[in-house]
Amino acid sequence: MSAVATVAPRARTRGALGWIALVAGLLLVSLIGGLFVYGGYAQRGILDPESAGPDGTRAVVRVLEQQGVRVSVARDRGAAERALGAGDATLVVPDAPMLSDDGLRDLSDRARHVVLIDPRTRSLDVLLNGSSLGDFAPDIAVDAACDVPAAANARTARVGSLFVPGDGVRACFGSDGGYGLLTTAEDGRSVTAVDGLATLTNAMLPLDGNAALALGVLGQSERLVWYVPSPADADPGTAPPTLSDLTPPWVTPAIVLLLLAALVAAV
């Protein structure tokens, strides 16, 4: 009897330790994942101007530089504002959810030309007079079918995401009821939206008229500021998102359940 009594607690202890190890592993994975994603690692290659990966955009930056455009990479809002303060420039803006509407307007107002390369409905609405996201174009070349110089010179392009133009917004590359390029211009300033993943990346740049479109849209000024948002770029007085805010919602309940299971196994 004593042998049986001794084995049972040991088995329960081993089982509890196994559950605890599983919980610890899950916590470690979630923490590392959060650090990678929100520390910039996971997103570094996507539309990053210094990335040579297929979803990076180093190739278009090199081509622009060969054409005499001075490219500055700004990895936070402050750096972008300082670079734009040096004179007229084109500002490249990817998706920046940490910026408020006013923050997005303020940053954009500092540039002569603004190019949204990963636009969402909010940025389209704020900067392109109520425009919005539409569907996706087929993975084929789409005719420009407009007289906007950058688009007309490209003739065709792969456009990816489609947009629905707001009032007074010019549209090119029409497909399935939407358009692959939107633009407005007033008093020598312009705002343009394209799907950079379909047009500007290292993998997509050589296809059809993508390179010509990229040069036409991004090469409007002698200087280009490529803004890479940081989680700390929230407006003053607005706290940046914490790791708990950014953790996927399933993580906390899963950890609680595993902890309860570990406690039950230890009893």
pLDDT digits (tens, 9 = 90+) for 176-199: 899 999 999 999 999 999 999 999
Q: Which helix (H) or strand (E) holds 192?
A: strand 189-194
50 domain residue, yes or no: no
Co-location of 21 and 145 in the same domain: no
Shared-domain flag, residues 137 and 202: yes
pTM to 2 decimal places: 0.75
Task: Give the domain range for residue 28.
Answer: 2-42+245-266
All residues at 6 or more sequence positions from 179 whose CB lies less than 8 Å from its CB, including other chains: 134, 159, 162, 163, 164, 165, 171, 172, 173
pLDDT of res. 40: 41
Using CA atoms, how far apart are residues 175 and 156, in angstroms rounded to an integer? Answer: 12
pLDDT at 127 over 70: yes
Question: If pLDDT is split at 50, 70 and 90, which confidence band does 38 have?
Answer: very low
Question: Is there a domain that residue 108 lies in?
Answer: yes
Q: Are residues 37 and 62 in the same domain?
A: no
Number of domains comprising the chain: 2
- Residue 66's SS3 state is helix
Q: Is residue 235 part of a domain?
A: no
Clarify whether residues 62 and 29 are in a common domain: no
Assess whether 76 and 181 both reside in one domain. Answer: yes
Q: What's residue 59's pLDDT?
A: 97
Q: Does pLDDT of 1 surpass 80?
A: no
Average per-residue pLDDT for the chain: 84
Domain presence at residue 218: yes
Are residues 203 and 252 located together in one domain of the fold?
A: no
Q: Indicate whether 180 belongs to any domain.
A: yes
Residue 256 lies in a domain: yes
Instruction: For residue 47, count CB atoms less than 10 angstroms from its CB and return exposed for 0-12, middle for 13-18, buried for 19 or more.
Output: buried
Same domain, yes or no, for 213 and 115? yes
Let me know whether 153 and 223 are in one domain: yes
| Within a domain: 103 | yes
pLDDT of residue 259: 72
pLDDT tens string 101-110:
999 999 999 9
Buried b or exposed e, range 219-229, using 16+ CB within 10 angstroms: bbbebbbbbbb
pLDDT score, position 161: 96
